[in-house]
Amino acid sequence: DGGITQSPKYLFRKEGQNVTLSCEQNLNHDAMYWYRQDPGQGLRLIYYSQIVNDFQKGDIAEGYSVSREKKESFPLTVTSAQKNPTAFYLCASWGGLQPQHFGDGTRLSIL
Amino acid sequence: EDKVVQSPLSLVVHEGDTVTLNCSYEVTNFRSLLWYKQEKKAPTFLFMLTSSGIEKKSGRLSSILDKKELFSILNITATQTGDSAVYLCAVEEGDDKIIFGKGTRLHILP
């Protein structure tokens, strides 16, 4: 079955540490997205990528970085510069004609 | 400034009531508006709207878009406790950018 796989489901970060969240899709979608969701809030766009080797900042890109070396993969790194990283992170992909497909999310917490 | 504004932010009603959720937007190069339902994890897709005035319907849920006034509504009739969720509105701008509102948290009392 086609879909999006995010890993891990739960992640703990120590102060000053960078962590990378994985997102893989086998839907052959060109566009991929990372959103952050805080408790009781909607989704805020961190980064998105329309095509391999290209990506754009969303509304809250500071403290995050991404890469898009392969069409299937769009990993998100939460750097130590992100001072409040505790949140639920959702990855999505989009093929243009259908609505976005979402992964099951990664919940990041600070130790 | 938020480009996609949902109202109300939260709503509590009794089972059987009808609810209307609102979504207004202000984006350049609008392409589509999407509604999602989010319970525990990933949002699940409800509707995609691209044309004004055409109602989309799925069971007790329906939605319509007004591109002149830049808003959409999501109606749920005869609500059930299983409708309790966060309802998210998203707008697709040009260049494949998709941005979400803060969501409406709906709670249905039995």
Band the pLDDT of A20: cuts 50, 70, 90: very high
Query: Which residues in chain A touch residue B6, judged by CB atoms under 8 angstroms apart?
Result: 42
Cα separation, A26 vs A44, in Å, equals 24
Amino acid present at B26: E
Q: pLDDT digit string (tens) for A27-47?
A: 999 999 999 999 878 899 999
Number of H helices, E strands in chain A: 0, 11
Band the pLDDT of A26: cuts 50, 70, 90: very high
Query: Which residues in chain B touch residue A25, judged by CB atoms under 8 angstroms apart?
Result: none
Query: Which residues in chain A touch residue B43, judged by CB atoms under 8 angstroms apart?
Result: 43, 90, 102
Cα separation, B39 vs B93, in Å, equals 26
Q: How many CB atoms lie within 10 A of CB A110?
A: 12
Torsion angle of the four alpha carbons B50, B31, B9, B77, in this order, in degrees rounded to the nearest 10: 10
Q: Work out the average pLDDT over A18-24.
A: 96
Average pLDDT of chain A to the nearest whole number: 92
Band the pLDDT of A1: cuts 50, 70, 90: low
Query: Which residues in chain A touch residue B34, judged by CB atoms under 8 angstroms apart?
Result: 99-100
Distance from CA of B45 to the nearest CA of A (A): 7
**Which candidate in A43, A56, A68, A93 is best for mutational testing of the B interface (most B CBs within 10 A)?**
A43
Contact partners, residue A64, CB within 8 Å, separation at least 6:
A34, A46, A47, A76, A77, A78, A79, A82
- Interchain proximity B42–A31, CB inside 8 Å: no
Asked whether B56 and A11 are in contact (CB, 8 A), the reply is no
Quick check: A46 contacting B, CB < 8 Å? no
